[in-house]
Amino acid sequence: MFTRAKRFSVAALSAGLLFAGVSAPTASAQEQDGLVNVMIGDINILNDANIGIAANVAANVCGVNVGPVAILANQVDRSGGMRTVCTIGDQAVRITQN
């Protein structure tokens, strides 16, 4: 019982740290603000969204794990570029800089 509770506590703490690390902008990048857009095709479904929220939405739309999508969102926020998460039909689900 103690081991299960300890594992749960470690898992919860790790998840909290991951979320905080994904969503918090760093002070070293001037253009990085922790906000991105999510697009399906040419339609913006989220504008100026927190990286964590944008990653969750894109991952749910694409049916993939949120971790790799959060990494892509951070890269987009730092670089100012655009990344395709997946393609649904003929429409690309992309994360873009706000």
pLDDT digits (tens, 9 = 90+) for 68-87: 999 999 999 999 889 999 99
49-65 residue pLDDT tens: 999 999 999 999 999 99
Per-residue pLDDT at 44: 93
Rounded to a whole number of angstroms, the distance between the first and last alpha carbons of the chain is 47
pLDDT score recorded for residue 31: 65
Nearest to 61 by CA among 28, 31, 27, 95: 95
Model confidence at 24, pLDDT cuts 50, 70, 90, reads very low
Lowest mean pLDDT segment, chosen from 12-26, 40-54, 60-74: 12-26
